[in-house]
Amino acid sequence: MKKAIILDLDNTIYPVSSIAEYLFNKVFEFLDSLADELSIDEIDKAKEEMKKRPYQWVADKYNFSEAAKNKGLDLLKNLEYDLPMQPYEEYRYISDTKIVKFLVTTGFTKLQRSKIKLLGIEHDFKAIYIVDPEVSSETKKDIFAIIMNTNDFKPEDLLIIGDDPESEIKAAITLGIDTFLFDPENRHPNAQVNHSSKNLKDAVPLFA
């Protein structure tokens, strides 16, 4: 029996694609300006990665120059989202359960807080943690360990729900925590994970 669940935010509670065009318009214009550094194909791939991964990760993967990386950071660190947002419809099945919930998300603090507020999900969680690489060197793995230590949880007491096999899922596995991969487009059929589904509500029987 699980005592608590830990959820990711982006592409787990809501689809990033629903806000990406508006939110990242300035950033995508900035990426287009890097045509002297990157090929068109690399720029297009970087844009897609931006919908799923932290900016710093994308900048490192595509070898942005230091000047370009810093310019992108300047654009993003004070960015907020201010239009209506909706979670995935199936998130309500998780929200309605009585189990203790934690939210752990990676991104720029101001931006992540604005999205959480607009989604109206603050009260679903006992605690919310934003892993901001610009503020701290802490990782999701570190936060999962903090949650266990401060709440006297054992790994078997928890379930991690997320969309990224290389982020929260990998971190959970290294700590011995059960994992549920939400994979609506079946993009990760071979991922190392305890449970996987295209439907978010399929996570509920694992803890409720």
Same domain, 100 and 183: yes
Same domain, 103 and 8: yes
Q: Are 178 and 191 in contact (CB under 8 A)?
A: no
pLDDT given at position 94: 98
Of 37, 53, 76, the one marking the end of a domain is 76
Of 76, 111, 126, the one marking the end of a domain is 76
Tens of pLDDT, residues 129-140: 999 988 999 999
pLDDT given at position 134: 87
Same domain, 45 and 132: no
Same domain, 90 and 71: no
Same domain, 117 and 201: yes
pLDDT given at position 51: 80
Domain of 142? 4-14+83-206
- Where residue 107 falls (left for φ over 0; alpha for ψ -120 to 50; beta otherwise) is left
**Number of independent structural domains in the chain:** 2
Same domain, 68 and 153: no
Same domain, 41 and 113: no
Distance of CA 28 to the CA centre of its chain: 19
Same domain, 107 and 193: yes
pLDDT given at position 82: 92
Same domain, 110 and 150: yes
Same domain, 150 and 69: no
- 158-162/178-182 β-pairing: parallel
Q: Are 166 and 193 in contact (CB under 8 A)?
A: no
- Average pLDDT, consecutive stretches of 10 residues, N- to C-terminus, the chain (208 residues): 97 93 84 92 90 86 92 88 95 98 96 97 98 93 98 98 96 98 94 96 96
pLDDT given at position 91: 98
Same domain, 115 and 180: yes
Of 76, 105, 121, the one marking the end of a domain is 76
Same domain, 127 and 58: no
User: What's 199's domain CATH number?
Assistant: 3.40.50.1000
